[in-house]
Amino acid sequence: MKKKITILLSAIALCIGNNVTAQAVSEGNIIIDPYYGYPNWGATLASSASNLDEINVTGIGPAGLRAEYMVADNFGIGIDFIYNSFNLKGTADSLNTDGSVYKSYDVKTFAQRYRLHLRMNYHFVSTDAVDAYVGFGIGTNTRRFGVTTDYPNYEDASVTGAIIPVSARLALGMRYYFTDNIGLNVELGIGGPVISGGVSIKF
């Protein structure tokens, strides 16, 4: 009887040990996620709303870096830095009284947005390779706009600020580790990139 109990306890301990080591992430881990996302709403809206001619729009992001510290096996806290920008180039016509073009002037506009969130993630799936979580972040919201042109008597200008200085994000994400420390990440969310993906590095 004692032998059977000993074998049973040993089996339970082995199963518990296997479950612990099988987790993709656990308490004490630090995870770094550089990522790139889609779409860049600013670039899309600028292109469709502009009344300039010969428009060329370029943009960066949304791109960012998440860092998370696992305070428990299924809960982590960290930061999420999100950046996106766009540059729009075009021409504006100065017209004669008869409506013909007198001269065309170059116009350049740019916009940048920075967000830094305090982030909390609840990890609801953690196998040996897969880590799935829901996350919420809240933090700053900073925008910078500017216009430059060779139009006569126009002074180049830029402004920094935001109507709402606070931003938030709600997200559903997953990491897949193909080694003990290196993997890929994908995240869906609102309040930032609708979809993003990148590399995950775990320490």
Does residue 17 carry a pLDDT above 90?
Answer: no
pLDDT attached to residue 185:
98
Amino acid at 77: I
Q: What is the DSSP string of 55-112?
A: EEEEEEEEEEEEEEEEEETTEEEEEEEEEEEEEEEEEEEEE-TTS-EEEEEEEEEEEE
pLDDT attached to residue 153:
75
Domain of 162, CATH number, reads 2.40.160.20
Query: Do 136 and 167 meet the contact criterion of CB atoms below 8 Å apart?
Result: no
How many other C-beta atoms lie within 10 A of the C-beta of residue 160? 11
pLDDT attached to residue 169:
98
Element counts in the chain: helices (H) and strands (E): 2, 10
pLDDT digits (tens, 9 = 90+) for 41-85: 877 776 665 666 667 888 898 999 999 999 999 999 999 999 999
pLDDT digits (tens, 9 = 90+) for 27-46: 999 999 999 999 998 777 76
Task: For residue 128, give its domain range.
Answer: 2-202
Amino acid at 47: S
Segment 92-97 mean pLDDT: 72
Specify the higher pLDDT residue, 101 or 82: 82
Peptide bond before 165: cis, by omega within 30 degrees of 0?
Answer: no
pLDDT attached to residue 182:
97
Q: How far apart are the first and last CA of the chain?
A: 44
Q: Measured at the alpha carbon of residue 31, what is the angle toward residues 27 and 32, in degrees to the nearest 5?
A: 165
Domain count, the chain: 1
pLDDT digits (tens, 9 = 90+) for 141-198: 999 998 888 777 777 777 888 888 999 999 999 999 999 999 999 999 999 999 999 9
pLDDT attached to residue 9:
38
